[in-house]
């Protein structure tokens, strides 16, 4: 869902860093002489996407690692069916 400008309700293009406030380009320029304190919604979305992607990659790696552990454990069990503990 596209974010809306908190002033005019247009689709937002900017967001204030570390706040949930969104502004369209026009209102952002009107209210902030310095756009450096604003982040582009697009960039923020890309950043979040990257963070999520990295998390996903970590989870996939972790899952692979666990599968490998289970597989190794199965192999040990299979090769030692009468193993006494
Ligand atoms: Zn606006």
Can you give the pLDDT at residue 14?
A: 93
Can you give the pLDDT at residue 36?
A: 78
Please tell me the distance between residue 35's alpha carbon and the centre of ligand 1 in angstroms.
Answer: 14
Please tell me the distance between residue 1's alpha carbon and the centre of ligand 1 in angstroms.
Answer: 17
Can you give the pLDDT at residue 38?
A: 85
pTM of the model: 0.52
Query: In Å, what is the CA distance from 69 to each residue of 62, 64, 78?
Result: 11, 9, 14
Domain range annotation of the chain: 14-79
Please tell me the distance between residue 7's alpha carbon and the centre of ligand 1 in angstroms.
Answer: 5
- Rounded-to-10 torsion of CA 42, 13, 5, 20: 40
What pLDDT tens digit does each residue of the chain (85 aa) get?
789 999 999 999 999 888 889 999 999 999 887 777 788 888 888 999 999 999 999 999 999 999 999 999 999 888 776 666 6
> Are 3 and 20 within 8 A, CB to CB?
no
């Amino acid at each position: 869902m596209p974010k809306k400008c908190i002033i005019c309700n247009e689709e937002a293009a900017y967001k204030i860093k570390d706040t949930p406030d969104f502004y369209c380009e026009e209102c952002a320029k009107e209210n902030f002489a310095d756009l450096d304190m604003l982040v582009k919604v697009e960039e923020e979305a890309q950043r979040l996407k990257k963070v999520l992607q990295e998390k996903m990659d970590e989870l996939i790696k972790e899952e692979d690692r666990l599968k490998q552990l289970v597989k190794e454990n199965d192999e040990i069990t299979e090769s030692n069916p009468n193993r006494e503990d």
